[in-house]
């Protein structure tokens, strides 16, 4: 059985692929694959292994040997699921591979914003400490997390892991009702929590119900010292509205690990604002990239392949 990995670069070059090699006769590995290279590289393969490479209906119809698509991620939006189903091609993804990594990253962002780290690092670069009349800088009050209210949108494995870490810091944690399903959810709606929360952390999928969830109206309802963290998907918040609120002192801190378009080849307002004296952090969608998490992607994919083959 032949398998082809089309975008191994998305896993990094320090990951052991032997769990996959052990399950196939031939594993062909490509660091990156351009759209025009997909058909040739997948010709004769029974298994396609992809992270972000698009497998559309036209490609699926051109690959008569293809029987399984393994997505090395949770999202399957790059796969034409209907075309795969029509052809009888199984599609398997992986979940919960980066829970510890993303939860840790979320807490890092929360702690950095609470300490006003971006501001104080900027002040140090500008020589403010050297010019200070007292022994420290305290022009930006920090936020002590103990006894503060952390609201989380997304109560899955990741949101629950963040909740446990927040509780370890003495925070009071509330899960908001699932956006779009508030009527059938016993938890409080996010709108009722905005005015009282101190930290809002997003861990929900990007859907029609969550797109633009944190918009101008939501931001206006929050405390001016509240912190907003998005380690979910770009577009769940209105990034431009959040930046405006931050600049106007209507938001205490903003941290995002994703943007609507990635990589942001045309730039983005948040990236351009990083040089400003704001409590702003942008990380390059790397909350998930610990070696342990990336290796677990391979392990879980091997499990999917083994189950599909009905191996013991």
User: Are the CB atoms for 258 and 233 separated by under 8 Å?
Assistant: yes
| Gyration radius of the chain's alpha carbons | 22
Q: Which residues belong to the active site?
A: 233, 262, 285
The CB-based long-range contact list for 223-226 (8 Å cut-off, 24+ gap) reads: 223/195, 223/196, 223/197, 223/198, 223/252, 224/249, 224/250, 224/251, 224/252, 225/143, 225/198, 225/252, 226/197, 226/198, 226/199, 226/200, 226/251, 226/252
CA–CA gap between residue 59 and residue 202 (Å, rounded): 35
CA-angle at 98, arms to 148 and 210, nearest 5°: 60
CA–CA gap between residue 94 and residue 96 (Å, rounded): 7
Residue 167: HSE in the Cβ half-sphere, 13 Å Cα cutoff: 10
């Amino acid at each position: 059985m032949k398998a082809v990995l089309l975008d191994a670069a998305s896993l990094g070059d320090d990951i052991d692929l032997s769990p996959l090699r052990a399950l196939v006769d031939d594993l062909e590995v490509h660091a990156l694959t351009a759209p025009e290279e997909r058909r040739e590289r997948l010709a004769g393969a029974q298994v396609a292994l992809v992270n972000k490479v698009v497998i559309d209906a036209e490609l699926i119809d051109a690959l008569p040997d293809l029987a399984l698509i393994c997505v090395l991620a949770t999202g399957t939006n790059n796969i034409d699921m209907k075309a795969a189903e029509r052809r009888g091609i199984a599609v398997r993804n992986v979940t919960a591979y980066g829970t510890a990594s993303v939860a840790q990253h979320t807490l890092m962002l929360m702690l950095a914003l609470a300490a006003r780290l971006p501001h104080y690092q900027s002040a140090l670069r500008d020589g403010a400490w050297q010019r200070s009349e007292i022994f420290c800088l305290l022009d930006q009050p920090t936020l002590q997390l103990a006894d503060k209210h952390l609201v989380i949108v997304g109560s899955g494995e990741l949101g629950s892991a963040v909740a446990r870490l927040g509780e370890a810091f003495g925070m009071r944690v509330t899960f908001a009702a699932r956006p779009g399903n508030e009527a059938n959810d016993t938890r409080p709606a996010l709108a009722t929590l905005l005015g009282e929360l101190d930290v809002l952390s997003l861990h929900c999928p990007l859907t029609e119900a969550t797109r633009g969830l944190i918009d101008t109206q939501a931001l206006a309802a929050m405390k001016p010292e509240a912190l907003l963290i998005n380690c979910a998907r770009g577009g769940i918040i209105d990034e431009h509205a959040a930046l405006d609120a931050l600049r106007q002192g209507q938001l205490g801190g903003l941290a995002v690990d994703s943007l609507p378009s990635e990589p942001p080849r045309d730039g983005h307002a948040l990236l351009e604002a990083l040089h400003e004296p704001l409590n702003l952090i942008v990380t390059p969608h790397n909350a998930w990239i610990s070696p342990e998490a990336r290796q677990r992607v391979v392990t879980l994919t091997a499990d999917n392949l083994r189950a599909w083959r009905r191996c013991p």
